[in-house]
Structure 1
Amino acid sequence: MDKEKLDEEFKKIWNETPASHSNEIKEASWEKFRTAAFPPKKKKVSPWRYYAAASVLLFVLVGTGIYFTAETQNELVAISENVIENTTSKIKSVVLPDSSKVILKPNSKISYGNNFALNRKIEITGEAYFQVKKDKQHPFQVFCNETTTTVLGTCFTVKGFNQKEVTVELFEGSVQMNVKGQDQKWILKPGQKFTYGNQTASVEEFSRFVDFDNEKLTVISSYIEENYGYKVIIPQDYKDQKITIRINKKEDLKIIVQLISEMYNLNFEINDDLKQITFQ
């Protein structure tokens, strides 16, 4: 992502900070952050208190449909030739045959057929976050208990550890929710959660951001390891440095790493084989 694009995305999310800040304060704060984060020349500076927010655009699609049915469940089970189960205590990243990505939580599993690129049906038990590759010709369907989530390209989580309840949280895009036997439709916006259980559907707000207020960099490191599965190595003299930052809970890892790098004038290396990030 080039500087201009990254600049635009930071400013868009920056404006989502609490309403208690006036527009003048937010604008002045933004200009201060941009000057510090993208200096004309890279030079050593003493890190100061930053207010920042990062966001990534992942296949945004307005009007995507999500449908809850039961008829197609047996069809999916019959074609589920590939099973991926996370039996560890850490999250597991999976790249599907169509290049969609799944972040699989512990004690969760997914299954899909060998012809997945053409018939994008996947079954989940537990909890997973999906980054769906856009493909209008082949809708992406996630089966969980008696529900079916159908999308063309967006970012969302599906949670269903038992037969009693299924929850869908929307992070990017827009989706339409339907429940079998009901005429009502629900249009979700980013930051809204749809819950269906005991034949009752509801929509409520949830926070898609996580805030760190004057926290040590080691706290951010622990957050990255817990939510992305990468160990973070920070120079000893930076471990007590403080940071205030707001990030999307499903932010792309590289965006977070780049932001920290710019804020503290550090170089970094991401080793995907070792699942390790080294700042220096």
Structure 2
Amino acid sequence: MNQEKFDEEFEKLWNEKPTAHSDNEKEASWEQFHAKTFSEKKRKFKPWRIYAAASVLLFVLIGTGIYFNQEPTAENIVLAENVIENTTSAIKFIVLPDSSKVELSPKSKISFGQNFASNRKIEIVGQAYFKVKKDKQHPFQVFCNETTTTVLGTSFTVKESENREVTVELFEGSVQMNVKGKDQKWILKPGEKFTYGNQIASVTEFSRFVDFDNENLSAVSLYIEENYGYKVILPKENMNQKITIRINKKEDLKTIVQLLSEMYNLNFEINEDLKQITFQ
């Protein structure tokens, strides 16, 4: 990506900021980030200091998943087959033949054809989060009950409830919703939720982020424990340090952990057997 394109993308992301910060703070943080990013020599990372303007930048970076691009651990990835059912109590991570990724929830199932790379149609029963590889020549379609979700490249969840109500929540990109027997089409934007049940379709907003506004770092560790299932151990001197940050609810755990490590100049160790993250 060239510098001009990079600037354009971050200018768009810059609009997603907490209202508590002024334009002057935002501009100061942008200039600081731009100078570091395009400097000829990479500067050595220094211990993190909490400044209001810098916290705006962190809202943008982690909220969009651009700061780091970590892959799921190899132990969590399975090769996709024609029919995949999750009979466990944990999320199953799947890589489809076109390199799209699926987080399949417990008691859920997906199925697709042999020629999936050229005919990207997939059916779901239950709930799954999709991160679709962009391919303009081959739209990605998800069928659930009577609904069809069509995308080119994006991330979203599809959920079918016990009463057969279908909910689609869009986190990134754009999707088109169709309902069997209806001519109307619904185009979703990030942060919008499509619901279809009892022959009624609706589009509403939902919160795709969780915000920490000048809260203790221990609050973030609690969020990780409750949403990712990993216990976080922090040094005592860091537990009450303040943090302002926005996290995408579908952010990769390692992205969050690595960013916290950089912010507070800490090392970390992840113990998969104990489901424990230790900072020191």
**1:82 corresponds to:** 83
Offset, 1:114: 4.8
Indicate if the aligned counterparts of 2:147 and 2:178 stay in contact, CA closer than 8 A: no
User: After alignment, is 140-149 or 25-34 more displaced?
Assistant: 25-34
Offset, 1:260: 1.5
Offset, 1:261: 2.3
Q: What's the secondary structure of 1:143's corresponding residue?
A: strand
Name the CA shift for 1:29/1:251 in 2 (closer, same or farther; >3 Å): same
Question: In the alignment, does 2:188 pair up with 1:188?
Answer: yes
Offset, 1:153: 1.7
**2:101 corresponds to:** 101
Length-normalised TM-score, structure 1 = 0.72
Superposition map of 1:1-280 within 5 A: 12-19=12-19, 21-28=21-28, 40-44=43-47, 50-51=55-56, 52-53=58-59, 54=62, 55-56=64-65, 81-88=82-89, 90-228=90-228, 232-268=232-268, 277-280=277-280
Measured in 2, the distance between the counterparts of 1:81 and 1:22 equals 52
Offset, 1:128: 1.4
Offset, 1:158: 0.7
- 1:12-68 Cα offsets, whole Å, 9 max, x none, are 5443224464423433465678899999433445656634312136xxxxxxxxxxx
How many residue pairs align between the two structures? 257
- 1:100-130 Cα offsets, whole Å, 9 max, x none, are 1112234433334454434433322222110
Measured in 2, the distance between the counterparts of 1:6 and 1:254 equals 24
Q: Which sections of structure 1, spanning at least 5 residues, go unmatched?
A: 58-79
Measured in 2, the distance between the counterparts of 1:270 and 1:179 equals 44
Offset, 1:230: 5.0
Q: Which sections of structure 2, spanning at least 5 residues, go unmatched?
A: 67-80
Q: What's the secondary structure of 1:210's corresponding residue?
A: strand
Indicate if the aligned counterparts of 1:145 and 1:163 stay in contact, CA closer than 8 A: no
Q: What's the secondary structure of 1:244's corresponding residue?
A: strand
Q: What's the secondary structure of 1:157's corresponding residue?
A: strand
- 1:77-120 Cα offsets, whole Å, 9 max, x none, are xxx852221531x4332222322111223443333445443443
Q: What's the secondary structure of 1:223's corresponding residue?
A: helix
User: Which one-letter code corresponds to 2:259 in the other structure?
Assistant: L
Indicate if the aligned counterparts of 1:86 and 1:105 stay in contact, CA closer than 8 A: no
User: Which one-letter code corresponds to 1:109 in the other structure?
Assistant: K
User: Which one-letter code corresponds to 1:188 in the other structure?
Assistant: L
Indicate if the aligned counterparts of 2:148 and 2:178 stay in contact, CA closer than 8 A: no
**2:75 corresponds to:** none
Q: What's the secondary structure of 1:97's corresponding residue?
A: coil
Name the CA shift for 1:232/1:160 in 2 (closer, same or farther; >3 Å): same
Offset, 1:131: 0.3
